[in-house]
């Protein structure tokens, strides 16, 4: 049972890489990005230690230039998005197989780095509740994404 909750939380955490926050052209470049997410939520199969996930994703020029909150996955959307300087905050609301609500804060010290936090409370289709508390960082790698496809 705990493994299912952890698997659902891991799936949402990895999806968080794709929908952690909207990006404006002045804040992040198009191209290949490397992300590292630390899940601070105590999980049954990690002896309460943080779990670290790493990955890469491709941000297209159109995504980098997008000037408004993006729909994040087919069943999630961002609301109450507020920019103050180089920091954006907001909420994510999901209504699909994973239902719940999250809050994010993301800071862009320049156009090749960002870091942030993401807290999400929800439940799976099987009504299994879970809580996520993530910290993440990202660094731009290069303009060419190579074989890494854009996020969908």
pLDDT of residue 145: 94
Within 20-152, where are the H helices?
61-65
Which pLDDT score, from 0 to 100, does residue 124 have? 85
Report the pLDDT value the prediction gives residue 22, as an integer from 0 to 100.
42
Confidence of residue 18 (pLDDT cuts 50, 70, 90): very low
pLDDT digits (tens, 9 = 90+) for 72-129: 567 888 889 898 988 989 999 998 888 999 999 999 999 999 999 999 999 888 878 8
Residue 135 has pLDDT above 90, yes or no: yes
pLDDT for residue 119: 93
DSSP-derived secondary structure letter, 150:
B
Query: What is the three-class DSSP state of 110?
Result: strand
pLDDT value of position 96: 86
pLDDT confidence of residue 67: 44
Burial of 22 (0-12, 13-18, 19+ CB in 10 A): buried
CA dihedral 82, 87, 114, 104 (to 10 degrees): -50
* Helix and strand element counts for the chain (H, E): 2, 7
Q: Which two tokens stand for residue 37?
A: 């997410």
Q: What are phi and psi of 51, to 5 degrees?
A: -105, 135
Q: Which two tokens stand for residue 62?
A: 């159109």
In the predicted structure, residue 69 carries a pLDDT above the cut 70: no
Share the mean pLDDT of the chain.
78
Q: Residue 142 pLDDT more than 80?
A: yes
State which H helix or E strand residue 47 sits in.
none
pTM over 0.85, yes/no: no
> What mean pLDDT do residues 130-146 have?
93
Residues 6+ away with beta carbon under 8 Å from 122: 12, 94, 98, 99, 100, 101, 102, 129, 130
Structure tokens belonging to residue 115: 């870091």
């Amino acid at each position: 049972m705990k493994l299912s909750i952890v698997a659902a939380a891991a799936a949402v955490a990895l999806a968080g890489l794709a929908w952690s926050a909207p990006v404006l052209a002045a804040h992040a470049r198009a191209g290949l990005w490397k992300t590292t997410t630390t899940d601070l939520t105590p999980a049954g199969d990690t002896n309460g230690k943080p779990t670290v996930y790493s990955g890469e994703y491709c941000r297209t020029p159109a995504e980098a230039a997008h000037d408004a909150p993006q729909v994040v996955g087919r069943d999630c959307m961002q609301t109450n998005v507020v920019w103050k300087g180089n920091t954006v905050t907001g909420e994510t609301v999901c209504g699909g197989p994973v239902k719940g609500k999250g809050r994010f804060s993301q800071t862009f010290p320049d156009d090749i780095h960002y870091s942030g936090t993401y807290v999400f409370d929800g439940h799976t289709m099987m009504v299994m509740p879970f809580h996520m508390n993530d910290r993440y960082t990202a660094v731009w790698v290069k303009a060419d994404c190579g074989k890494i496809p854009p996020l969908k």
